[in-house]
């Protein structure tokens, strides 16, 4: 005992000396004293036990720390179990915590003793402190002793109902633990999971889904009711939960929705406006993010919801989240939308090398199927000498897959520099990559071949060997003769020592011996000489060569052949002996057999060329982003992604108590309410302030936002009141005629445009609220709806008056906005745009943003010949599109030159670049012979000059057409003062500035024609200037992103200097080009 206490003192001393460790654990400190006595492990345990049995907390803590040190190191500390387990009741929190850690580690080995601690946990489960409750449950469930599984079950069931979400989260984690311990409890656990899935807090969601995935992934039916909630919560769930949820959703989508990539499903027969409306409403409720609105196939709204809600996650800082969204898009999104993930994946390539490795492997698989997706990012896959080898190889793989006729020269140049790498494995892989490029792209095969032949004189043997092998493959594919190459290779047999390469050369010579009749026998002679020293693989090829030579040129080589066969007969390797026996019988038979006659046919049959393809070709059988995909092997627990069902299962299962239509009602009310507010209320500005406040709080509803939400709910009450009164006014009209929905549509769009930003986000928060908090009784709502809508239409129309006014005046239309309804159809809107032209010319000095000059030039969209009588021309109206301010309005003039009336003309399938959108024109029911009509459509070109490709369908035929907007049409005029202009121009110096000089033709050097010319080219606005007349400035913004575009033209007698400033360099340069060409034209 005395010696014990002495040592205890020693421990304490050690602590004082090394205070930062807080312990005297030998292996972990530099303190020589403590490490000295700790090295005699066996006896020291007695000492630890004594410390634990004492009643001083700090001694216990020291002891526990040392024990944990042993656990951490992986040393066996199980014999201390009885001493430790007693301390589970310790009041000291840290001691307790460390005891917990110890318990979870050793309970499995000391089951009987572990049971002693259970009652403590059971008591702790009732503790008022949520942290203690949670950690008790955590430890209890981590004790892997089958006997306590009923206790665990009870504890879990209780914890699921706990007030604290933290405890519920812990319960979710405990479920898989219990399941792995006792699989028979599954049924009960599934019930618990079902309860947890209904939890509304973001904290629990991720863990609940994880439990679901581990215990009952096949019970997809449990998800239905929670699907929409999960989608909406997703953004706020913590990162790790997001990964799990998105993973589960991928599987869900694959079982519950139909493939978005099938051809032409649901394209026709669907009312244009109806589908439009659905889409729109969703768009407005969820977020004001631009996404292609319409698909030729009608996507399930829930499917769309999933895709939309996951898209923001691509901006997550967590690579795993980005990857999971990427695989969701890869497996579940329409082809045209998958492109959005490329950028995010490329960003991940800047991460740690392990992240790069996984991401590159996935990209490699994706490039096999969708090359175009990553083509733009080619340079991101260029290899640095500092990359680890496995990353280099993956990048090489991707580069090869991305090679096309257009970029092959760049890629080849890049590959050339890799060949000289000091990393030999990589250099060899590069040569293979060149071979693959050469075989895939016929144009460059010859270049590659000569390059490879050049490489054969490389000093490095592995490079040479690899090139020989690749050349062999390439020659085999080529039909043309390459006598020189074969000759060259034959000469190299002496120098090359790598067996594989030698074998390849011999095979080549044997195969094409008639092309090099002089050399081949010589090679055989040399080989016969060195036969015994060769590697097995080379020997086999020598035999092959000898046999083939003997057939084609038996006069010269028969003896040689016999000699080789004799040598082979006594070889050590049985393969070689077998081969020689077989060939001898075939070629030099003792008696003429039936086979010998066909020897030539057998040996010199034309062989199929090898196919060089990506190693990742077959990886797409695995779901992207999985472990199985990385290992290219099915891992334990991997389940194949199910195929799309032929027909979608009943979507209504996802409806929660509050069905969707009701939400819509609520929404339209709400929308109107806000509208009303801004319309009727005292001051518009105040309401706007409010809006922005609300918006800033929309994502998280913490205490601060309470005020706002209160206000909001007030608003809602208001709106409800109002609505009620309306209800009483208007008799019920349950079936509104379908036609009526048409006029309704336009105002809605109109409105959303005018107050796009405030209203949409606000609506969102409100609609969410209404969904969750105040579900009004269903019957009432559904009755309300139709009446409401007609009313809303009227209401909207009056509102619209205001809008028209705004809209009209901004377009220079005086009061000729027409009747209320006139704006409602796009074709009428086009009529209005014509009005605008006249208006503009009369009030050109007006300060409003308006088109200054409308080009009358129209372009051919569809020739009457190719269109079978249907001719379409289009022109840019330069009005602000009624559909979205980001869209370019285009007026189509359709003329039927044919002999029979056309009917059902509408826009068909669209193939758009990512970010582009088309607002179609309404279907033209019929177009008589010789008749012509104008319709308005709008395209968001996303500030690119890429063509928007789509189809025009008539009932009988479809025509593929494309519209390309000249860069000047992608702009909208922007008002600007001179000072502002110069300031902005100053900011856009340098690379964003493009300058050019043109000589003006005499008759066009005056101020007016220069201005007109510029305005003809581009939809800009002249900046009023006070200075000398020789500098003309114009300003505009791009349609979709609102990037500033500034043009200044300074005229100097007969020449003009044009300066274009724009952040988007493409736009800048193209605009300059257009300006130059038009100004120079006489």
* Binding-site member from 33, 101, 116, 298 for another protein (CB under 8 A): 101
Which residues are bridge partners to 890 per DSSP? 876, 937
User: C-beta of 166: minimal distance to another protein in Å?
Assistant: 6
Shortest distance, position 661 Cβ to another protein, whole Å: 26
CB closer to another protein out of 281 and 287: 287
In the sheet where 917-919 sits, what is the strand order?
859-862, 870-880, 888-896, 932-940, 917-919
| Cα 674 to Cα 512: distance, rounded to the nearest angstrom | 83
Q: Give, as ranges, the residues between 1042 and 1081 that touch another protein (CB under 8 A).
A: 1043, 1063, 1065
Nearest-approach distance from CB 686 to another protein, in angstroms: 18
CB of 909 to another protein, least distance (A): 28
Q: Among residues 105, 515, 864, 909, which is the contact residue for another protein, using CB under 8 A?
A: 105
Stretch that binds another protein, among 26-34, 784-792, 838-846, 878-886 (CB under 8 A): 26-34
Q: Please report whether residue 420 would count as binding another protein according to CB under 8 A.
A: yes
Instruction: Give the binding range for another protein (CB under 8 A) out of 388-396, 561-569, 712-720, 1028-1036.
Output: 388-396
Residues within window 448-467 making contact with another protein, judged by CB under 8 A = 458-460
Distance of alpha carbon 325 from alpha carbon 310, whole angstroms: 6
Q: How far is the CB of 631 from another protein (least distance, A)?
A: 5
Candidate residues 22, 264, 517, 1001; the one interacting with another protein per rule CB under 8 A: 22
Question: With respect to another protein, which residue has the nearer C-beta, 359 or 935?
Answer: 359
Q: Give the C-alpha separation, 418 to 420, whole Å.
A: 5
Question: Which of the residues 187 through 216 are near another protein (CB under 8 A)?
Answer: 202-203, 207, 210
Q: Pull the structure tokens for residue 654.
A: 């996802």
Task: Give 557-576 as a 3 state SS string.
Answer: HHHHHHHHHHHHHCCCCHHH
Q: E-assigned strands of 881-1020?
A: 888-896, 902-911, 917-919, 924-927, 932-940, 948-953, 958-963, 971-973, 993-999
Site string for another protein, 276-295 (x = CB under 8 A): -----------xxx------
Establish if 156 lies at the interface with another protein (CB under 8 A).
no
**Least distance (Å) between residue 971 CB and another protein:** 16
Q: Which stretch binds another protein (CB under 8 A): 80-88, 159-167, 838-846, 973-981?
A: 159-167
966 closest CA partner among 863, 872, 1070: 1070
- Residue 832's contacts (CB-CB under 8 Å, 6 or more residues apart) are 808, 811, 813, 817, 818, 822, 823, 879
| Binding to another protein in span 987-1006, by CB under 8 A | 987, 991
Q: CA distances (Å), 996 to each of 775, 1070, 1077, in order?
A: 64, 12, 11
CA separation for the pair 1055, 997 (Å, rounded): 7
Helix, strand or coil, per DSSP, at residue 1035 = strand
Residues 309-368, interacting with another protein (CB under 8 A):
312, 315-320, 322-324, 343-344, 346-347, 350, 352-355, 357-359
Print the binding letters for residues 719-758 with another protein: x by CB under 8 A, - otherwise: --------------------------------------x-
User: Would you say 260 and 292 are in contact if contact means Cβ atoms under 8 Å apart?
Assistant: no
Residue 134 or 403 with smaller CB distance to another protein: 134
Does position 176 bind another protein by CB under 8 A? yes
Which residue, 344 or 509, has its beta carbon nearer to another protein? 344
Could you say whether residue 80 binds another protein (CB under 8 A)?
no
Beta bridge partners of 525: none
Tokens of 549: 């030579």
Residues 81-100 that bind another protein (CB under 8 A): 92-94, 97-98, 100
CB atoms under 10 Å from CB of 1019, counted, come to 26
**Is the Cβ of residue 557 or residue 759 nearer to another protein in the bound state?**
759
Q: Which candidate, 443, 509, 420, 497, places its Cα nearest to that of 471?
A: 509
In terms of Cβ atoms closer than 10 Å to its own Cβ (0-12, 13-18, 19+), residue 303 is buried
Distance of alpha carbon 32 from the chain centroid: 56
Q: Which of residues 770-809 bind another protein (CB under 8 A)?
A: none
Site string for another protein, 968-987 (x = CB under 8 A): -------------------x
* Secondary structure E strands in 181-270: none
- Residue 427, classified by CB atoms within 10 Å of its CB into exposed (0-12), middle (13-18) or buried (19+), is buried
Candidate ranges 415-423, 488-496, 529-537, 867-875; the one touching another protein (CB under 8 A): 415-423
The structure tokens listed for 981 are: 């202009």
CB of 97 to another protein, least distance (A): 6
User: How is residue 1048 written in tokens?
Assistant: 């200044």
Among 382, 563, 679, 859, binds another protein (CB under 8 A): 382
Pattern of binders to another protein over 235-254, x per CB under 8 A?
xx-xxx--x---x-------
Candidates 58, 814, 842, 975: give the one binding another protein (CB under 8 A): 58
Cβ of residue 690: shortest distance to another protein, in angstroms? 14
* Minimum CB–partner distance for residue 685 and another protein (Å): 18
- Residue list 494-533, contact with another protein (CB under 8 A): none
679-718: which residues touch another protein (CB under 8 A)?
695-696, 698-702, 704
CA distances from 38 to 33, 45, 76, 308 (A): 9, 9, 14, 60
Contact 481, 515 (CB under 8 A): yes
Chosen residue from 77, 118, 136, 138 binding another protein by CB under 8 A? 138
Instruction: Based on the shown chain and the rule CB under 8 A, indicate whether residue 19 belongs to the binding site for another protein.
Output: yes
- The nearest distance, CB 382 to another protein, in angstroms, is 5
Our finding on whether 72 is near another protein (CB under 8 A) is yes
Residue 65 CB, nearest approach to another protein (Å): 5
Site residues for another protein, 538-597, by CB under 8 A, read none
Residue 880 dihedral angles phi and psi, to the nearest 5°: -75, 130
Residue 446 within binding range of another protein, rule CB under 8 A? no
Q: Which residue in the set 121, 162, 173, 1016 belongs to the binding site for another protein (CB under 8 A)?
A: 173
Residue 92, SS3 per DSSP: coil
Backbone angles phi, psi at 60, to 5 degrees: -60, -45
74 class by beta-carbon count within 10 Å (0-12 exposed, 13-18 middle, 19+ buried):
exposed
Among 4, 5, 271, 389, binds another protein (CB under 8 A): 389
Name which position in 25, 276, 662, 669 contacts another protein (CB under 8 A): 25
Mention every residue, 6+ apart, whose C-beta is less than 8 A from residue 787.
726, 727, 730, 731, 732, 733
Question: In the complex, what is the shortest distance from the CB of residue 770 to another protein, in angstroms, rounded to a whole number?
Answer: 19
Residues 926 and 970: their CA atoms lie apart, in Å, by 32
CB atoms within 10 A of CB 306: 26
> Residues for the chain: how many in total?
1082
Strand ordering across the sheet containing 958-963: 924-927, 902-911, 948-953, 958-963
Taking CB under 8 A as the criterion, the residue among 9, 36, 54, 388 binding another protein is 388
Residue 619 is given by DSSP the state G
**Choice from 626, 655, 687, 713 touching another protein (CB under 8 A):** 626
- Determine, following the binding rule CB under 8 A, whether residue 303 of this chain makes contact with another protein: no
User: Least distance in Å: CB of 94 to another protein?
Assistant: 5
Query: Which residues in the 635-664 window bind another protein by CB under 8 A?
Result: 635-639
# chain residues binding another protein, by CB under 8 A:
130
Report the alpha-carbon distance of residue 875 to residue 973 in Å, rounded: 18
By C-beta, is 360 or 852 nearer to another protein? 360
* CB 497, min distance to another protein, A: 15
* Alpha-carbon gap, residue 281 to 759, rounded angstroms: 12
Quick one: which of 598, 538, 590 has its CA closest to 568?
538
């Amino acid at each position: 005992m005395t010696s014990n206490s002495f040592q205890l003192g020693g421990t304490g001393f050690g602590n004082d000396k090394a205070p930062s460790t807080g312990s005297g654990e030998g292996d972990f400190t530099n303190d020589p004293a403590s490490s000295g006595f700790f090295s005699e492990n066996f006896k020291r345990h007695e000492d630890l036990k004594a410390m634990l049995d004492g009643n001083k907390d700090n001694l216990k803590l020291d002891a526990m720390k040392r024990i944990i040190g042993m656990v951490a190191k992986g040393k066996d500390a199980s014999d201390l179990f009885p001493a430790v387990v007693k301390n589970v009741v310790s009041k000291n929190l840290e001691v307790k915590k460390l005891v917990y850690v110890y318990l979870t580690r050793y309970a499995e080995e000391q089951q009987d003793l572990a049971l002693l601690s259970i009652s403590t946990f059971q008591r702790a489960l009732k503790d008022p402190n949520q942290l203690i409750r949670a950690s008790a449950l955590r430890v209890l469930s981590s004790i892997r002793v089958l006997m306590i599984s009923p206790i665990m079950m009870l504890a879990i069931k209780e914890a699921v109902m706990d007030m604290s979400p933290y405890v519920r989260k812990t319960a979710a984690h405990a479920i898989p633990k219990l399941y792995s311990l006792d699989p028979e409890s599954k049924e009960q656990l599934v019930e618990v999971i079902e309860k947890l899935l209904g939890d509304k807090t973001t904290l629990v969601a991720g863990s609940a889904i994880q439990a679901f995935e581990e215990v009952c992934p096949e019970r997809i039916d449990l998800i239905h009711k929670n699907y929409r909630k999960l989608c909406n919560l997703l953004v706020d769930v913590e990162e790790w939960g997001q990964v799990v949820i998105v993973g589960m959703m991928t599987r869900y989508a694959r079982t519950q929705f139909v493939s978005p990539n099938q051809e032409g499903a649901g394209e026709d027969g669907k009312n244009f406006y109806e589908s439009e409306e659905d889409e729109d409403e969703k768009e407005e409720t969820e977020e004001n993010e631009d996404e292609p609105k319409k698909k030729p196939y009608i996507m399930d709204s829930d499917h769309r919801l999933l895709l939309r809600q996951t898209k923001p996650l691509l901006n997550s800082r967590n690579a795993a989240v980005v990857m999971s969204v990427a695989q969701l898009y890869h497996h579940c999104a329409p082809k045209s939308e998958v492109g959005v993930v490329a950028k995010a994946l490329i960003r991940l390539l800047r991460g740690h090398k392990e992240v790069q490795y996984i991401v590159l492997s996935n990209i490699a698989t994706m490039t096999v199927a969708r090359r175009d997706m990553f083509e733009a990012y080619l340079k991101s896959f260029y290899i640095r000498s500092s990359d680890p080898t496995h990353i280099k190889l993956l990048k090489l793989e991707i580069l090869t897959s991305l090679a096309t006729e257009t970029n092959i020269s760049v890629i080849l140049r890049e590959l050339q520099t890799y060949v000289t790498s000091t990393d030999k494995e990589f250099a060899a892989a590069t040569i293979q990559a060149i071979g693959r490029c050469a075989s895939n792209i016929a144009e460059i095969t010859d270049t590659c071949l000569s390059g490879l032949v050049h490489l054969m004189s490389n000093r490095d043997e592995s490079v040479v060997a690899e090139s020989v092998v690749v050349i062999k493959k390439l020659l085999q594919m080529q039909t043309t003769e390459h006598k020189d190459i074969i000759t060259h290779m034959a000469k190299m047999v002496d120098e090359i020592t790598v067996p594989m390469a030698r074998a390849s050369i011999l095979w080549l010579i044997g195969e094409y011996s008639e092309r090099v009749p002089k050399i081949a026998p010589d090679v055989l002679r040399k080989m016969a000489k060195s036969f015994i020293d060769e590697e097995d693989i080379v020997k086999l090829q020598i035999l092959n060569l000898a046999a083939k030579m003997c057939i084609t040129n038996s006069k010269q080589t028969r003896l040689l052949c016999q000699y080789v066969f004799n040598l082979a007969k006594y070889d050590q390797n049985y393969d070689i002996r077998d081969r020689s026996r077989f060939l001898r019988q075939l070629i030099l038979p003792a008696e003429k057999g039936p086979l010998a006659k066909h020897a030539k046919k057998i040996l010199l049959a034309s062989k199929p060329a090898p196919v060089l393809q990506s190693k990742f070709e077959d990886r797409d059988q695995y779901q992207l982003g999985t472990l199985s995909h990385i290992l290219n092997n099915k891992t334990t627990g991997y389940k194949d992604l199910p195929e799309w069902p032929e027909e979608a299962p009943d979507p209504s299962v996802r409806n929660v108590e509050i069905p969707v239509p009701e939400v819509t009602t609520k929404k339209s009310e709400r929308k109107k309410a806000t509208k009303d507010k801004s319309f009727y209320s005292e001051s518009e500005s105040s309401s706007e302030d409010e809006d922005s406040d609300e918006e800033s709080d929309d994502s998280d509803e913490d205490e601060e936002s309470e005020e706002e939400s209160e206000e909001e709910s007030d608003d809602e009450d208001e709106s409800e009141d109002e609505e009620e009164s309306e209800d009483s006014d208007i008799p019920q009209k349950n079936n509104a005629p379908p036609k009526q929905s048409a006029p309704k549509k336009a105002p809605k769009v109109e409105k959303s445009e005018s107050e796009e930003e405030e209203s949409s986000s606000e609506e969102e928060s409100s609609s969410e609220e209404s969904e969750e908090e105040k579900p009004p009784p269903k019957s009432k709502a559904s009755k309300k709806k139709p009446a409401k809508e007609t009313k809303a239409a009227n209401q909207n129309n009056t509102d619209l008056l205001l809008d028209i006014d705004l809209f009209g005046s901004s377009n220079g239309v005086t009061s000729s906005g027409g009747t209320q309804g006139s704006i409602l159809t796009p074709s009428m809107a086009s009529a209005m745009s014509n009005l605008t032209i006249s208006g503009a010319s009369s009030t050109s000095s007006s300060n409003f943003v308006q088109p200054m000059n409308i080009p009358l030039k129209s372009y051919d969209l569809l020739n009457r010949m190719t269109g079978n009588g249907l001719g379409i021309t289009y022109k840019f109206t330069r009005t602000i599109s009624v559909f979205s301010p980001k869209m370019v309005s285009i007026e189509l003039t359709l003329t039927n030159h044919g002999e029979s009336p056309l009917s059902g003309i509408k826009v068909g399938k669209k193939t758009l670049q990512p970010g582009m959108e088309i607002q179609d024109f309404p279907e033209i029911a019929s177009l008589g012979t010789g008749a012509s009509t104008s319709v308005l459509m709008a395209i968001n070109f996303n500030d690119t000059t890429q063509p928007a490709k789509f189809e025009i369908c008539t009932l009988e035929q479809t025509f593929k057409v494309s519209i390309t907007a000249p860069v000047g049409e992608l702009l909208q005029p922007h008002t600007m003062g001179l000072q502002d202009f110069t300031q902005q121009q100053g900011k856009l110096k340098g690379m964003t500035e493009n300058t050019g000089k043109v000589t003006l033709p005499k008759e066009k050097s005056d101020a007016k024609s220069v201005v007109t010319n510029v305005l003809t080219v581009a939809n800009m606005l002249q900046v009023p200037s006070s200075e000398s007349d020789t500098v003309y400035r114009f300003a505009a913004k791009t349609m979709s992103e609102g990037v500033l575009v500034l043009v200044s033209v300074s005229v100097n007698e007969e020449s003009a200097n044009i300066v274009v400033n724009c952040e988007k360099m493409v736009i800048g340069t193209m605009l300059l080009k257009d300006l130059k060409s038009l100004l120079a034209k006489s």
